[in-house]
């Protein structure tokens, strides 16, 4: 997608449109069948046009940089309540339920080492802050990918954008810590409550089933948060459960199971890569996971386009959402104009009358 350095024209851009038009369908059931067909077809095409496989590859790089700092932050918080080891086992169990075994073997040792690392005093606080800062790099990379999907440039200045990315990272770390606590601590707590109210093991059975929808909601919420805060556009509203986030989770689970089956039965990574097979499989799985997230993001964007088209808004070329901030765009356009003027002066200074 070509980016041009021209001064932003808010009127021509038509991005002063209200975030949500009164005639836009509010519920998925209000969207007509032709609109749904257009949304699905456009999502597939834009996934290729926006070069999402390449974006997923760059996000895989940021995932590797952010993964272990993020886990360090989560386990540091859990270590304060003495649940680091149990949480590590729960995380490995979840990964093993849908990821290839080579992936589990690759991340087992570093996860266990992080979970067993001491956490106290100034070193703990410093390590936690650095871990959150490092993990926020993925959020930044995802924001750039979302800007590509919505066909906008990043206009938020650093002093606005970075705190937002850090806040999203902190929310993600806290949510994952809560999810880990639910997996580790909730069983004994549910049994104790059941004994008090006379339900006994029935309470434990009920929670062992009911905790999975809670965990699924946490994951969907985090993805929806990335979709909402990532692009430099004002979304109509924050949706706690985004349809694109649900789609991303479904695709991720299906793709992960298929990839695990392929690795276990048909691949020859161990013969090709030897001791690096686990690392290669892990990176491929991260790439697949990030592509699933981008599929969901494309679907959400095209769903908004479909809603606007059905409301009669001219969203054929661009989704009619106003920018969150155009400060950086204006400054970059001004710098570009100055560079052009200097370049023109140099050319005219060294050219004769015939070449001017």
In a domain, 5, yes or no: no
Contact 106, 171 (CB under 8 A): no
Q: How long a stretch of residues is the chain?
A: 356
In a domain, 98, yes or no: yes
Instruction: Kindly state whether residues 239 and 338 are assigned to the same domain.
Output: no
Instruction: Kindly state whether residues 318 and 298 are assigned to the same domain.
Output: yes
Of 321, 295, 326, nearest to 307 (Cα)?
321
Q: How far is the C-alpha of 175 from the C-alpha of 157, rounded, in Å?
A: 27
Instruction: Kindly state whether residues 350 and 306 are assigned to the same domain.
Output: no
Instruction: Kindly state whether residues 314 and 231 are assigned to the same domain.
Output: yes
Instruction: Kindly state whether residues 286 and 340 are assigned to the same domain.
Output: no
**Predicted pLDDT of residue 163:** 94
Low-confidence ranges of the chain (pLDDT < 50): 1-18, 120-121
Burial 120-152 (b: 16+ CB within 10 A, else e): eeeebeebbeebbebbbbbbbbbbbbbbbbbbb
How many structural domains compose the chain? 2
**Predicted pLDDT of residue 202:** 64
- For the record, the structure tokens of 306 come out as 């479909």
In a domain, 2, yes or no: no
Contact 254, 93 (CB under 8 A): no
Q: For residue range 125-160, what is the model confidence (pLDDT) as tens digits?
A: 666 787 788 889 999 999 999 999 999 999 999 999
Instruction: Kindly state whether residues 137 and 250 are assigned to the same domain.
Output: yes
Instruction: Kindly state whether residues 347 and 311 are assigned to the same domain.
Output: no
**Residue 103: its H or E element:** helix 101-116
**Predicted pLDDT of residue 5:** 41
Contact 75, 113 (CB under 8 A): no
Q: For residue range 172-229, what is the model confidence (pLDDT) as tens digits?
A: 888 877 777 676 655 555 566 556 555 666 666 766 777 778 888 888 899 999 999 9
Of 28, 21, 38, 1, nearest to 321 (Cα)?
21
pTM of the model: 0.79
**Predicted pLDDT of residue 313:** 87
Q: How far is the C-alpha of 285 from the C-alpha of 137, rounded, in Å?
A: 19
Instruction: Kindly state whether residues 240 and 339 are assigned to the same domain.
Output: no
Of 115, 138, 104, 97, nearest to 282 (Cα)?
104
In a domain, 3, yes or no: no
Backbone angles phi, psi at 91, to 5 degrees: -65, -45
Instruction: Kindly state whether residues 340 and 241 are assigned to the same domain.
Output: no
Instruction: Kindly state whether residues 341 and 286 are assigned to the same domain.
Output: no
CA angle 337, 11, 324 (to 5 degrees): 80
DSSP 233: B
DSSP 320: -
Instruction: Kindly state whether residues 65 and 185 are assigned to the same domain.
Output: yes
Q: How far is the C-alpha of 198 from the C-alpha of 356, rounded, in Å?
A: 93
Three-state DSSP at 256 gives: helix
The residues facing 323 across adjacent strands are: 233
Of 340, 355, 336, nearest to 7 (Cα)?
336
Three-state DSSP at 281 gives: helix
In a domain, 350, yes or no: yes
In a domain, 143, yes or no: yes
Neighbour tally for 306: CB within 10 Å: 25
Of the chain, the end-to-end C-alpha distance in Å amounts to 33
Instruction: Kindly state whether residues 341 and 197 are assigned to the same domain.
Output: no
In a domain, 269, yes or no: yes
Domain that holds residue 114: 10-325
**Predicted pLDDT of residue 52:** 95
């Amino acid at each position: 997608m070509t980016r041009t350095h021209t001064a932003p024209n808010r009127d021509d851009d038509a991005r002063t449109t209200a975030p949500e038009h009164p005639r836009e369908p509010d519920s998925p059931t209000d969207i007509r069948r032709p609109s749904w067909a257009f949304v699905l077809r456009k999502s597939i095409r834009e996934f290729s046009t926006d070069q999402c496989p390449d974006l997923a590859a760059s996000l895989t790089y940021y995932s590797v940089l952010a993964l272990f700092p993020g886990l360090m932050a989560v386990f540091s918080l859990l270590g304060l309540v003495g649940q680091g080891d149990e949480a590590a086992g729960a995380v490995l169990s979840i990964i093993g339920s849908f990821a290839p075994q080579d992936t589990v073997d690759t991340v087992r040792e570093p996860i266990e080492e992080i979970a067993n690392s001491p956490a106290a005093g100034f070193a703990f606080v410093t390590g936690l802050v650095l871990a959150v800062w490092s993990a926020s790099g993925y959020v930044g990379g995802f924001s750039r990918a979302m800007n590509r999907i919505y066909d906008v440039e990043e206009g938020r200045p650093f002093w606005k954008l970075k705190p937002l990315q850090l806040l999203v990272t902190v929310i993600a770390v806290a949510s994952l810590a809560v999810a880990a606590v639910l997996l580790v601590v909730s069983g004994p707590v549910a049994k104790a409550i059941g004994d008090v109210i006379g339900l006994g093991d029935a309470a434990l059975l009920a929670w062992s089933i009911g905790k999975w929808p809670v965990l699924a909601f946490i994951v969907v919420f985090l993805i929806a948060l990335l979709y909402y805060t990532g692009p430099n556009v004002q979304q109509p509203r924050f949706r706690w459960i985004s349809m694109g986030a649900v789609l991303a989770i479904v695709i991720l689970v299906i793709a992960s199971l298929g990839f695990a089956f392929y690795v276990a039965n048909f691949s020859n990574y161990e013969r090709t890569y030897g001791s690096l097979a686990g690392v290669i499989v892990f990176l491929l799985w991260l790439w697949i996971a990030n592509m699933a997230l981008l599929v969901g993001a494309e679907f959400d964007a095209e769903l908004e386009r479909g809603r606007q088209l059905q409301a009669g808004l001219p969203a054929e070329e661009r989704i009619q959402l106003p920018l969150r901030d155009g400060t950086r765009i204006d400054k970059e356009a001004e710098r570009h104009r100055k560079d052009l003027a200097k370049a023109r002066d140099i050319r005219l200074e060294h050219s004769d009358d015939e070449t001017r």
